[in-house]
Amino acid sequence: MEQIQASPDRPHGPPDLAMPTLAMLRTALGAGWRDFLAAPTFGLVAGAACVLAGWVMVAITAASGNTFWFVLAVFAFPMAAPFAAFGTYEVSRRLARGASTGFKDILKVLWAERGGQLPWLNGLMVVVLLFWFFLGHMIFALFLGLKPMTNIMSSGEVFLSPNGLAMLAMGTFVGGCFALLFYAVCVIGLPMLLDRDVDYVTAMIRSVGVVIHSPVPMLAWAALVAVALFLAMLPGFLGLLLVLPWLGHASWHLYDQLRQAGARA
């Protein structure tokens, strides 16, 4: 089996990328599911970690009594999903090359990334997430700050008031903008960082460029990912065990199709 090293032999610079099509999305979903079935271990562990994180998030917000923060965390959860699925990119890359997909092999590659560009992108996204929590709290305070309600589980009817509906509308719009920013930066940028020797700023710019120049298929992919993750979180986050690794593998295959088609052009 081919041995894939973590880094120095990666091709330098960003690849030529073709523009995505709706047919590529269908192909990516099918290939992602096949990869998950072929090597499910890492994906299941990553999914289980996200399920556990969801449970901890619920426990902390319930124990503090400020379950309003749970709403913000749920909106933020899909934004972090690409980073949680990063290891599945490596699994798919190895499956395509006939290399080992052992759990230790994947962890070795991920550990090697600590000295690369990924931590910089992670750090930037953490700052953006924290800013989203700050803005979310400000929106809540703006519309409902004078309401005697801190627990949405016992005072949910406040959201049906005029101020509550206005708060939901504003929060959804702002949260959607943050989610779109995350998506545009990561959808191509993250797999590119694994595949190529490229700085994170270049990867971000190229990723955003693909989204801007092909809005229909890329926004369709964003909607599919968002809906799938939302539905996966409904049964106590347990759906993430399957959906997260499936979408992770599929995201790699979408990038790989764009790369291969760009190389042939």
- Give residue-wise pLDDT tens across range 118-162: 778 777 777 877 777 777 778 777 776 655 444 554 455 666 777
Comparing 123 with 206, the larger pLDDT belongs to: 206
In angstroms, the CA 91 to CA 63 distance is 38
Mean pLDDT of 218-229: 92
Asked if residue 250 is part of any domain, the answer here is yes
Return the amino acid letter for 248: G
Q: Which residues pair with 197 in a beta bridge?
A: 12
| Nearest CA-CA partner of 190 in 246, 247, 255, 257 | 255
Domain that holds residue 119: 22-257
In a domain, 81, yes or no: yes
Q: Are 187 and 221 a contacting pair, CB within 8 Å?
A: yes
Checking if the pLDDT of 69 tops 80, the result is no
Residues 6+ apart with CB under 8 A from 20: 210, 214, 217, 218, 221, 254, 257, 258
- Provide Rg for the chain, Cα atoms: 19
Tell me how crowded residue 255 is: count the other CB atoms within 10 A of its CB: 26
Q: DSSP label at 145? A: T
Tell me what pLDDT residue 80 has.
67
DSSP state, residue 262: H
Which band of pLDDT confidence, cut at 50, 70 and 90, is reported for residue 66?
A: low
pTM of the model: 0.82
Three-class DSSP category at 235: coil
Any domain includes 12: no
For residue 16, is it within any domain?
no
Q: Which residue has the tokens 């970690």?
A: 49
Q: Locate tokens 């072929």: which residue?
A: 38
In a domain, 99, yes or no: yes
Average predicted confidence (pLDDT) for the chain? 82
Higher pLDDT, 14 or 154: 14
CB 227 within 8 A of CB 199: no
Please check whether residue 11 lies inside any domain of the structure. Answer: no
10 within a domain of the structure (yes/no): no
78 — pLDDT class (breaks 50, 70, 90): low
Q: Which pLDDT score, from 0 to 100, does residue 44 have?
A: 93
Number of domain units in the chain:
1
Is residue 3, in this structure, part of any structural domain at all?
A: no
For residue 228, name the pLDDT band (cuts at 50, 70, 90). Answer: very high
